[in-house]
Amino acid sequence: MKLVVVSAGLSVPSSTRLLADRLAAATTGRAPADVRVVELRDLAVEIAHHLTSGFPGRELAAALEAVTAADGLIVVTPVFSASYSGLFKSFFDVLDKDALTGKPVLIAATGGTARHSLVLEHALRPLFAHLRAVVVPTGVYAASEDWGAAGLPERIERAAGELAALMSGLAAVRPAVKDEFAVVPFAERLAALRPSG
């Protein structure tokens, strides 16, 4: 299985990346997967060029392909002005509109205060619902005071378990679904309807 982590943190080190790494470790602890981290900070210029030219650069194209091919996503953004960052939104704006259809996604965010925790429900969940992703029930928000406090590790484990279950379930179903449906040419179907005589 392939797990892609999209981190929109801007600083180094970044609490956004730290949360992303903890979520990925908890998920792969339950469902082993190859993990690829996409750092949007490193793709900012290519994202801007793609928005204006319509063509992705080499690194951005590889990141978009990885997200499209993933069995599951962990997406983490810092909170700016009570919503996701512009860089985060711009990345998903240049992604093909059907790339996340049916894909399990764990949403997470970081911020300076717990007052912004509803960003998960009023910004992130609607965005990924619009992209037709399957968003896990538990989102994870980490305010500055959450690091090292009770509650955050439990939320990480619960969300990771939900994502791992969806990824494992979908991975187990995919090959069977492909084998069950055979494409029959339309002319052959029409011929079967004609009365024999």
The stretches in the chain having pLDDT less than 70 are 170-183, 196-197
Q: How far apart are CA 5 and CA 37, in angstroms?
A: 5
Q: How far apart are CA 195 and CA 197, in angstroms?
A: 6
Q: Which among 154, 148, 167 is positioned nearest to 18, based on CA atoms?
A: 148
Q: Which among 117, 111, 119 is positioned nearest to 147, based on CA atoms?
A: 111
SS3 content of the chain, % helix, strand, coil (to 5): 55, 20, 25
Q: What pLDDT score does 81 carry? A: 85
- Count Cα atoms within 13 angstroms, Cβ side, for 123: 22
Q: What pLDDT score does 68 carry? A: 96
Q: What pLDDT score does 185 carry? A: 77
Q: What pLDDT score does 177 carry? A: 38
Q: How far is CA 54 from CA 26, 48, 93, in A?
A: 36, 10, 11
Q: What pLDDT score does 154 carry? A: 95
Instruction: Give the number of other Cβ atoms within 10 Å of residue 59's Cβ.
Output: 13
Q: What pLDDT score does 180 carry? A: 46
Structure tokens at 72: 């599951």
Q: What pLDDT score does 196 carry? A: 65
Structure tokens at 104: 């399990």
Q: What pLDDT score does 194 carry? A: 75
Q: What pLDDT score does 66 carry? A: 96
Q: How far apart are CA 128 and CA 88, in angstroms?
A: 12
Q: Could you tell me how far CA 45 lies from the centroid of its own chain?
A: 21
